[in-house]
Amino acid sequence: MSNAMIINGKEIGQEIRKSVAEEVAKLKDQGVTPGLAVILVGDNPASQTYVRNKQKSCEAIGIYSELIKLPNEVSEDELLEQIRSLNNSESIHGILVQLPLPKHINEDKVIATISPEKDVDGFSPVSVGKMMLGQETYLPCTPYGVMKLLEYTQVDIAGKHAVIVGRSHIVGKPMGQLLLQKDATVTYTHSKTPDLPSITKQADIIVAAVGRPNFITKEHVKPGAVVIDVGINRDENNKLIGDVHFAEVEQIASHITPVPGGVGPMTITMLLYNTVQSAQKKLLQDK
């Protein structure tokens, strides 16, 4: 018998997408179709799947999506040129470069070239700086999605101890900042943290983003904690599993996200949300 309430990212994501679709319809009534450009370099199968899902999601709610496929051997200059032309495009409100990029291309340089006004992934140094200062900006989609899951599930964050396991630029670091802004006390942990369970066991909210299958077990979790699993791994049968040992942890957590169907659907949902926000801002500027 499981105790934990399962946080259904699919359902919450659909609810948010419904309201985003309504905003898209309002924009179209005013002659604006929100547009998202996705640049895919090379033929990484996982990246191709992500990009396909993003395109499908755009089409489903009426966002114009443009896929720019570039060969693996494309030069850094050519890629930057492509981004600059999208920065200047009137029909594109969001630009996303699918990571990882081939080794010969500097990811930091690429992300910094995307106009902050169109950085719907929330990765540019300008977006990250504004997020740190609590200023209005596009928030990175996965941590933003996690915040929405907590909000919709009515998890009280203020005054709670949140422990982040993982320190990537994409999830771990921004995740801690967003929780801090909602008055959580935040501890960052990672692969070099000694005696990790002694820290995670103090957490009211655990966000696992280490990229190691079944890494967080019941010994890491205090009874009643909220456990958010950002991990996406494959087991030996090629089945999708998270960073959290779900069967063990759901017995003691108060809330838990499944993999798949937890955080995953929220990432694309927030990308659509940010793109529509960008189109709305542009419309206000042009008035």
Note if 182 is an active site residue. Answer: no
* Predicted confidence (pLDDT) per residue in 173-209, tens digit: 999 999 999 999 999 999 899 999 999 999 999 999 9
**Residue type (1 letter), 205:** I
Catalytic residue chosen out of the listed positions 98, 119, 173, 277:
98
Q: How far is CA 218 from CA 61, 87, 190, in A?
A: 40, 47, 18
Note if 103 is an active site residue. Answer: no
Task: Identify the pLDDT of residue 286.
Answer: 87
Tell me the torsion sign for CA atoms 200, 206, 210, 213.
positive
Tokens (6 digits) for 172: 């771990």
Residues sharing a CB contact under 8 Å with residue 26, sequence separation 6 or more, in sequence order: none
Residues of the chain whose pLDDT is less than 50? Answer: 1
Task: Identify the pLDDT of residue 125.
Answer: 95
Q: How far is CA 155 from CA 33, 70, 174, 193, 224, in A?
A: 35, 43, 19, 27, 12
Task: Identify the pLDDT of residue 2.
Answer: 60
Catalytic residue chosen out of the listed positions 118, 119, 121, 160:
121
Task: Identify the pLDDT of residue 10.
Answer: 97
Cα-flanking dihedrals φ and ψ of residue 104, to 5°? -80, 0
Task: Identify the pLDDT of residue 92.
Answer: 98
Task: Identify the pLDDT of residue 287.
Answer: 78
Task: Identify the pLDDT of residue 191.
Answer: 87
Task: Identify the pLDDT of residue 155.
Answer: 98
**Prior bond of 265 cis (ω within 30°):** no
Tokens (6 digits) for 118: 């169109």
